[in-house]
Structure 1
Amino acid sequence: MNPVIRAVLIPILAALAVCTFGLGAAAQGMGALARLIAEDSRLSAEEGGVSLQLSLSQPVPFRVFTLADPARVVVDFREVAFGDWAEGVVLPEGLSGIAAGPARQAGWSRLVVDLARPMVPGTAAMTVDPASGRAEVVVRLVRADEATFRAQAGAPPEAAGPAPVMSETRRPASDGPIVVVIDPGHGGVDPGAVRGDHTEADLVLTFARELRDALRRTGRVEVVLTREADVFVPLPTRVTIARAAGADLFLSIHADALAEGRAQGATIYTLSETASDAAAEALAEQHDRADLLQGVDLHGADDVVAGVLMDLARLETAPRAAGFAATLVESFAAADVRMHAQPWGEAGFTVLRAADIPSALLEIGFMSDSRDLANILDPAWRAAMQGALVTAVLDWADADQARRMRARQ
């Protein structure tokens, strides 16, 4: 970032930008360890299941999954100091035990809830109080039969903390890994586009998981997903998760549907208040309406000063996002990935509004186009597109690092 802009932004954004983007003026710095606020955290019985409500001093990335033999629900956080809350909590019917502490994977904390009967996560979401900066994670467990529970049980690959494999031909351009936050669009009560038995939410989650694994195999990239399962995550919370993870790049993945003949092929979007075309505008409206399901108003006016500071920050991040978009288009072309006639567009997507993170939204294809849908369902095609994405991320990171080094000189 330009030193003059940084000198203005850093002391003031801590108080203003967090209000605009849901972190709160009273939030701790993201470098501090999040704390569980015991008096506002609870386990309670609900009709058909159990609700786990955890109040945290600040937002952090988290993931939820189930394990069998014995049956339990695991909630991993990056990271949370639980204190002794789990030792004194009263267990509602359906639960047989609870424990909290460090996870086996470095940099993560883990909460384990032992189940007395089969239950699976029905919803899992994080909300942030804009006034205090506190985050609330709510996981609702619903009853399930044994077969359903076992079919869903299993830790995601990243929960085991596998050692990354360093590419022999690529080396880090800086001392630390590139942090990429991948945002699988939709989820939970918002399935996104639907075609036959396929939902956009499921397809992009599969794609995002595969892309995460491909990026991690380079040994240069740390990846965080904004959702690990079919759950609803509010749009502003997705940005909050990216900021909490210290993202160098935010990439939202979609596979929307528009009227037949209007859209086909991969398309990448960067932020603009004015959409590049009618289709881009329609997509932005379609995506942002998802938050109306949770009653969130995304159109409140920013404070004038905060708005000016956001614009200053985007003087730095907008060219970097544009650089990624251009690199991705080149990488797709080199890999012969099918692209839209206008592969790079602009629109006012809410998930692209983080002033301090280069952000882009990728339509891997359009479910309304039969050829695109067939591609998205084809593992070989997905692998080819993911390979092009990995190349683009690494090439962009190299160029971005070189540009920053020149700026320091």
Structure 2
Amino acid sequence: MTAAETPGGLARVVPEYTGAEAAGGGVRLDLELTQGVPWRVFTLADPDRLVLDFREVDWTGVDPALFAAEGLGAVRFGAFRDGWTRFVADLDRPLAVEEAGLSVSALTGQASLRVFLAPVSEAEFDARAGAPEDPRFDLPEPAPVEPARESARDGPLRIVLDPGHGGIDPGAEAGGVNEAHLMLTFARELREVLVRAGFEVVLTREDDVFVSLERRVARAHRARADLFISLHADSLAAGVAHGATVYTLSESASDAASAALAERHNRADLLAGLDLGGTDDVVADVLMDLARLDTQPRAEALARAMVDGIASATGHVNSRPLRSAGFSVLKAADIPSVLLEAGFLSTPEDLERLTDPDWRARLARGVRDGVRAWAAADAAEAALRRR
């Protein structure tokens, strides 16, 4: 980590002096900033990626095409954590950081960051790859599995809404609309509807920032949520789909389209440059599977109630509105969790509906009605579950 002087305002990338080019058999990356900021650089494997973190840098006006160079693949950048932004570049071949440095002009105060990537063997790349130890970037400790709150005893039902994507991960995009912004807007609207109905509501993100899948679930645990609803509006590269769909967790997807959708959602952490190595825990997985024996039927009942509520309020749901797949964000063992695909941005009719505030208000009322019906039925069954 190289720290610079304390910045006096938000640093911006200067596009005119920013880009990448082949050099010395490798790649040279240049970024010009309006001032110096704390930063760090590292590589990750599986897939091979270059990651640059900055203390809040504004990338407005920067075209990813500036970084087109032999050896670099897709490039993305944006907000990553509160106060931090991230740049991620896929690597088409093994390239390791050979030199990296930031210099600040004593005359203008502008900062020039140069990174040189040199070719290495795949074995050497793997040996050198990995995020540096830094508590500001580490994922949260796994939360203990605790029994869900008894809502009737402890107060109003507590709902965690999870607007998908955000920051460096904009999600699906169509017609000048991106999924991250749209779902944050809908989450705020839905929160108001649910609060007026007497529920407590917590959002996993309040701004356009990246939140890892594990942190989303951890925030639901910290909030002691009674239920968790993840909000999305995806896009299909091929085929046509329309209408709302509610997903529950399963190891085997209910259909090929659901499997592909879950794979795209679960890749969000990889695309944002998170190091997921060494996260498997077989014993923990077994314990969570046991906990889900109680939670999963409740999640499936919630999905059915939400589909009924949405269909009644909007008159429009998918032809197969109840589906299942291995969405990582639904893996809280002790919280009934569902994922709502509000529609598909790749379908013009759905795009028109989702960008219409009046239609979103109807959708929000449908979700509210579904949650309210589920809560009543779940409370009636709670005494049976405790016996």
- Shorter-chain TM-score bucket reads 0.5 to 0.7
The equivalent residue for 2:161 is 182
After superposition, residues 151-300 of structure 1 pair within 5 angstroms as 173-219=152-198, 221-298=199-276
Q: Tell me the amino acid that sits aligned with residue 254 of structure 1.
A: H
The equivalent residue for 1:324 is 302
- Deviation of residue 306 (structure 1)? 1.7
Change (3 A) 1:190 1:129: closer
Q: Tell me the amino acid that sits aligned with residue 311 of structure 1.
A: D
Q: Tell me the amino acid that sits aligned with residue 326 of structure 2.
A: G
Q: Tell me the amino acid that sits aligned with residue 176 of structure 2.
A: D
SS at match of 2:324: strand
SS at match of 1:364: strand
* C-alpha distance after superposition, 1:10-69 (max 9, x if no partner): xxxxxxxxxxxxxxxxxxxxxxxxxxxxxxxx997359638xxxxxxxxxxxxxxxxxxx
The equivalent residue for 2:66 is none
Q: Tell me the amino acid that sits aligned with residue 235 of structure 2.
A: A
Aligned mate of 1:342, from 310, 316, 320: 320
- Cα distance in 2 between the residues matched to 1:297 and 1:314: 27
* C-alpha distance after superposition, 1:102-127 (max 9, x if no partner): xxxxxxxxxxxxxxxxxxx9553485
What stretches of structure 1 of length at least 5 have no aligned partner? Answer: 1-41, 51-92, 95-120, 134-171
**In the alignment, is the contact (CA less than 8 A) between 1:173 and 1:397 conserved in 2?**
no
The equivalent residue for 2:284 is 306
- Cα distance in 2 between the residues matched to 1:342 and 1:299: 36
Count residues in correspondence: 264
- Deviation of residue 402 (structure 1)? 1.2
Aligned mate of 1:405, from 374, 383, 387: 383
Q: Tell me the amino acid that sits aligned with residue 365 of structure 1.
A: G
Change (3 A) 1:405 1:217: same
- Deviation of residue 191 (structure 1)? 0.7
- Cα distance in 1 between the residues matched to 2:305 and 2:280: 32
- Cα distance in 1 between the residues matched to 2:142 and 2:360: 42
TM-score normalised by L of structure 2: 0.62
The equivalent residue for 2:81 is 124
CA RMSD of aligned residues (A): 3.0
**In the alignment, is the contact (CA less than 8 A) between 1:204 and 1:253 conserved in 2?**
yes
- Cα distance in 1 between the residues matched to 2:167 and 2:261: 19
Larger radius of gyration, structure 1 or 2? 2
SS at match of 2:6: strand
Change (3 A) 1:253 1:177: same
After TM superposition, what 4+ stretches of structure 1 lie above 4 angstroms from structure 2? 125-133, 172-175, 297-301
Identity %: 54
**In the alignment, is the contact (CA less than 8 A) between 1:260 and 1:369 conserved in 2?**
no
Change (3 A) 1:288 1:47: farther
Change (3 A) 1:273 1:44: farther
Change (3 A) 1:401 1:225: same
